[in-house]
Amino acid sequence: MTQIRLEKTHALEQLRQMLLIRRFEEKSAELYSATKIRGFLHLYIGEEAVAVGVMANLEPEDAVVATYREHGQALARGMSANSIMAEMYGKQEGCCRGRGGSMHLFDAEKRFYGGNAIVAGGLPLAVGLGLADKMQNRNRVTCCFFGDGAVAEGDFHESMNLASLWKLPVLFLCENNLYAMGTAICYHQAQADIAAKGSAYGMASASVDGMDVVAVETAAAEAVAYIRAGKGPYLLECRTYRFRAHSMFDSELYRTKEEVKEWKERDPIVQHTSRMREAGLLDDQDIASLEQQVAEEVEAAVAFAEAGTDEPIEELTRFVCSERRVA
């Protein structure tokens, strides 16, 4: 695997993006507890290196399909913190006019197609996007994020099969955090090596340390280059871990505190910070500046959401379609 050279400007941007995701998520948890955000909330804390590392290799014309744990991907893709926070507040100024909430972020301009609340529901969509690009001879990549739980669904296998059969430009990106909600991977997969499943469909595949943003970016660069060369789809497994519970309603009885503590010692932000310090690319002033910049962006997003407006009652039937049947 070709290692991406650590360069200060880029490394600082990687750190800034991971810090933004972490602080945005921490604030979201705080606001949820204060009942400012309602519905479901699935936090990305611990998995920041995956979104940041992968997005660095995508072009504006590429497409991204995500899961319900998509705040990190949305921020890394360039969606504004303002529009995301307003969406979670249920305000009209949100990216989906407040109708989607946390699990259904969407931005056509950024080609960010969800935010999908159905486990594995985004995979067939990614195949469709890839098929459209191939039929129209567009050199684009569709990156489809999904968790290890999605691997147990039929949509995963059907999508992998068709993408490989038709040599579609799709990057299947598995964020393997070891738990499908509260079920450990060893209890739902006879073959726990997710990357190995690519061989069943004649698909190129690889695994990478999902806690290392440089490693993820390097692996994703090779995968994207493979796809852009017209060689077909690629399965990349990022082995990562969520530090928080599955959702805000999760009592988290399925894993030990000791296990969580061990994984936190591999915190992607701490790892990247240490690497940069050792390389002489980061000092205390840099960190303080980044933290201040991120804090201001998060606070501005909260203020934007707080000042947002609710959808008028007379607008509630807008965008709602129904079929009228005549006897």
Q: Report whether pLDDT(197) > 80.
A: yes
Q: Identify the pLDDT of residue 210.
A: 98
Name the residue with tokens 């507890």: 33
Mean pLDDT is lowest, of 125-129, 131-135, 309-313, for 309-313
Q: What is the DSSP letter of 107?
A: B
Rg (the chain; Cα; Å): 20
Mean pLDDT for the chain overall: 95
CATH T-level assignment (fold) for domain 8-315: Rossmann fold (3.40.50)
Q: Nearest-CA neighbor of 19 among 320, 301, 290, 302?
A: 290
**CA angle 241-242-244, nearest 5°?**
150
Q: Identify the pLDDT of residue 2.
A: 55
Mean pLDDT confidence for 114-119: 91
Q: Identify the pLDDT of residue 323.
A: 76
Q: What percent of the chain has pLDDT over 70?
A: 98
Q: Nearest-CA neighbor of 171 among 238, 119, 216, 233?
A: 233
Strand, helix or coil at 174?
strand
Q: What percent of the chain has pLDDT over 90?
A: 89
Q: Identify the pLDDT of residue 315.
A: 87
Q: What are phi and psi of 270, to 5 degrees?
A: -65, -45
pLDDT digits (tens, 9 = 90+) for 236-286: 999 999 999 899 888 888 999 999 999 999 999 999 999 999 999 999 999
> Residue 327: which pLDDT band, with cuts at 50, 70 and 90?
low
Q: Report whether pLDDT(8) > 60.
A: yes
Q: Report whether pLDDT(324) > 90.
A: no
Mean pLDDT confidence for 13-25: 98
Task: Give the residue extent of every domain in the chain.
Answer: 8-315
What is the rounded CA–CA span in Å between residue 217 and residue 44?
18
CA distances (Å), origin 312, targets 91, 140, 249, 316: 11, 39, 30, 7
pLDDT digits (tens, 9 = 90+) for 27-65: 999 999 999 999 999 999 999 999 999 999 999 999 999
Q: What is the DSSP letter of 112?
A: B
What is the rounded CA–CA span in Å between residue 191 and residue 115?
28
